[in-house]
């Protein structure tokens, strides 16, 4: 959703009005996406870096987000008609309480819609998402699995061996092996007596030995992906950037993979409409069909070689 401010400057209108027109463009594009069978749409509504803008603009964007989310969830029939739920991805602690209240209400009102998803990244950066995913992964792998003595731990085995040696050896042998023969007979009695106070069957527990943690060697890229904000979403097939800028700007860096198609369009977001979007969908479908045919052709060739 890039180009709102430039659109406002080029049309000599307030910056806030440019953002308002951007939200209207979003509603139009969602209609096209859901009609075309797209199940998950993710929009970059507000970057964490945007907090560096003027207080006037940031406050206006927050107020607009409250109003637009409420309209989409309550008054508009778009979400209901296509069975779409709203999810807001990002750092909630950076938002004001009144904005959080509006977000939670919109999410709650659409939570039972299960046919499609609208992800609103607000406030968000991809680096922050990846950092959060790594942090939560570390937290999960720092939690003990269970806390009871392991029957085959090194400490338990050592204690068992000592226990058997003590119970099978005669007392005199134990005294000679442990210390020289004392001149005072009472010392021998004391030595033997002290040996009988041992409890080899109940060794002292070592909390470090008894605690089992998840193996960090088991952490994979899938583990990190499972802790991302988009963990429940399908792979990213298509990413569109408007305004003629050819960079990702810290958006869904992890989710982009070898099969993700990137389109950089020379159109400002408020102007992005059906006629801008349809050629992208058609080209993406053609590329996907061509890729699938190539995979099938390679598969048939390998079968013939066999």
Per-residue pLDDT of the chain (306 residues), as tens digits, is 889 999 999 999 999 899 999 999 998 999 999 998 999 999 999 999 999 999 999 999 999 999 989 888 876 688 999 999 999 999 999 999 999 999 999 999 999 999 999 999 999 999 999 999 999 999 999 999 865 545 555 555 666 676 676 655 555 444 444 444 445 544 444 444 444 444 445 555 555 556 898 999 999 999 999 999 999 999 999 999 999 999 999 999 999 999 999 999 999 999 999 999 999 999 998 988 888 887 777 766 565 555
**CA-CA distance, 16 to 58, in Å (whole number)?**
10
**Cβ(96)–Cβ(63) below 8 Å:** no
SS3 207: helix
- Distances in whole angstroms, Cα of residue 294 to Cα of each of 130, 156, 262, 288: 33, 59, 20, 10
- Contact in structure between 130 and 208 (CB atoms under 8 Å): no
What pTM does this model have?
0.75
């Amino acid at each position: 959703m890039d180009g709102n401010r430039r659109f406002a400057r080029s049309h000599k209108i307030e910056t806030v009005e440019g953002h308002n027109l951007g939200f209207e463009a979003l509603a139009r594009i969602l209609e096209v996406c859901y009609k075309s069978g797209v199940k998950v749409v993710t929009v970059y509504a507000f970057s964490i870096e945007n907090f560096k803008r003027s207080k006037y603009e940031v406050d206006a964007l927050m107020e607009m987000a409250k109003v637009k989310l409420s309209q989409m969830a309550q008054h508009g029939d778009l979400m209901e008609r296509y069975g779409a739920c709203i999810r807001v991805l990002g750092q909630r602690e950076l938002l004001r309480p009144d904005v959080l209240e509006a977000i939670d209400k919109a999410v709650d009102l659409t939570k039972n819609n299960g046919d499609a998803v609208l992800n609103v990244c607000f406030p968000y950066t991809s680096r922050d998402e990846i950092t959060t995913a790594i942090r939560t992964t570390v937290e999960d792998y720092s939690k003990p699995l269970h806390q009871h003595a392991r029957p085959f731990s090194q400490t338990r085995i050592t204690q068992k061996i000592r226990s058997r040696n003590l119970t099978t050896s005669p007392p005199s042998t134990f005294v000679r092996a442990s210390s020289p023969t004392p001149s005072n007979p009472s010392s021998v009695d004391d030595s033997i007596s002290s040996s009988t106070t041992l409890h080899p069957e109940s060794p002292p527990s070592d909390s470090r030995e008894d605690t089992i943690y998840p193996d960090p060697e088991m952490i994979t890229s899938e583990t990190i992906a499972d802790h991302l904000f988009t963990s429940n979403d399908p792979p990213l097939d298509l990413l569109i950037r408007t305004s003629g800028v050819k960079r990702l700007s810290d958006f869904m860096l992890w989710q982009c993979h070898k099969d993700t198609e990137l389109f950089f369009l020379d159109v400002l977001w408020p102007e992005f409409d059906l006629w801008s979007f349809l050629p992208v969908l058609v080209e993406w479908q053609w590329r996907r069909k061509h890729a699938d045919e190539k995979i099938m052709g390679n598969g048939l060739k390998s079968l013939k070689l066999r």
